[in-house]
Structure 1
């Protein structure tokens, strides 16, 4: 009897899960829910980057116990060689992944193996010298050397080789836990369950620029989120509008084509027109990316065409407003 009840409970939970999945992902409710899920996911996956950027550099001569970020030049006695690219280094991370392709030509990893080899090393700068205990390192923020070997056999996957290395003389930042050893000297060690994070100035600069761009665009994304959901759920339908084939074709295909044309035209000229056309191309491309999945859902769920047109206009308006208000700031971030 217990087994029967257990199976019934499992079936009920599965049915409830499928019902919720269908209700959310094949209805209008995905529109307000998906951006929230995406935002939470983005906050979660960028926690290390944000922690790395927020932690200020500490001089070695002024260290205290706890989390610190130190910049210095790498020094280590032993030289090793990476497995694939045969690079001389003092530590490396090597990933070997089997790659397959879907019907659209996009690749995805079917299986992967990772091999790491590290040694303790020293960070040296004008304020001193400190030993880094390299028992657990995160090299994911270092530049990667990648090569994909394409198989000529139909049933064999392509193989992608990825290596990240540390070399003597590299100028890096290390985020870790400063602790005293038996000789009462400071060492950098990994925190419990958290590896030492290693990055470069260039990587941190690019990451900082990305966060700055999000900061500038966030108010307009919030405005877009509010306006889209208002027109989808709350705005009264003032008039019944028949589906306009020209609008549908333009919103799906015309905008991306226009983005390409404006982008190519902008690259062939200079001065003010180059900036103007490039920004117009960016607006068209942004609207296309944001509205394509949204329009697919709205047409699939037979949403009132008046609401669809209002939603498209609101996305276009918010994207254009964001571009107009921030184009100088964004140019300063990504061009300089």
Structure 2
């Protein structure tokens, strides 16, 4: 079922009306309409396209999923594609929700690919700033982009917290290295996906701010500029996190190498200590006469030699921090 709204001179006059009444509302001077379609087929979308004169290529892009974030300009309207994102803190996976939008002078048509895009949150933003509704389509587009970009910013912040927690695990001796490595790659993969979504939004919002598009008037320009500032901050944050994840992977490898060196030193030190009694008992185990052979003092000398030399090696290795 399509969600619809009609604003007349900045006042909400009708909502949840049938799509077939779209042209009826547009006949009223000063009317601005919003139509939302969730996972429509080509026939449902073409009905709206005929009413608003939407380009066939834009309609085709709205139906097919996995479009890149972009803003395409056509003679009578523009086509917007964007993604809302959410980070699953348990799995570290980035969940994306694709939305397409047609921007005309008096109408906004949003096309969601599935129910995962929370269109009710967008409607709440419109209702919370109803005093801006007099600015028409620019008001509707701002609410949509503000929700999407804020989601990007929250996802970047959540990734930052996850990466900081991962940094703390690097120097925990009891931490399993396999879990740390797997978590590192999961967060890195999510960060790459987020980067693909966030970076193009800079160009999208910047294009909307251009005066030749005639969409954003002077009173709405500061609001779009605020969204653009959020896009820049999310972009810069994403780039810094990308370098941070790379450094975590490199640090983890370095720590593993250092731990391996420490283990090697310890094993070598204990092997040297064990070699002393092995050598002495091997010498006194010869089947030949030697000083002290067959006497008690020979046993005492060999035992004392083992204890003394082993203790000397232990103290020496301990001072060198090999044990």
TM exceeding 0.5: no
* TM-score, length-scaled by structure 1: 0.22
Higher RCO (CA 8 Å, separation ≥ 6 residues):
1
* TM-score, length-scaled by structure 2: 0.22
- Higher strand fraction (1 or 2): 1
Higher CA-based Rg: 2
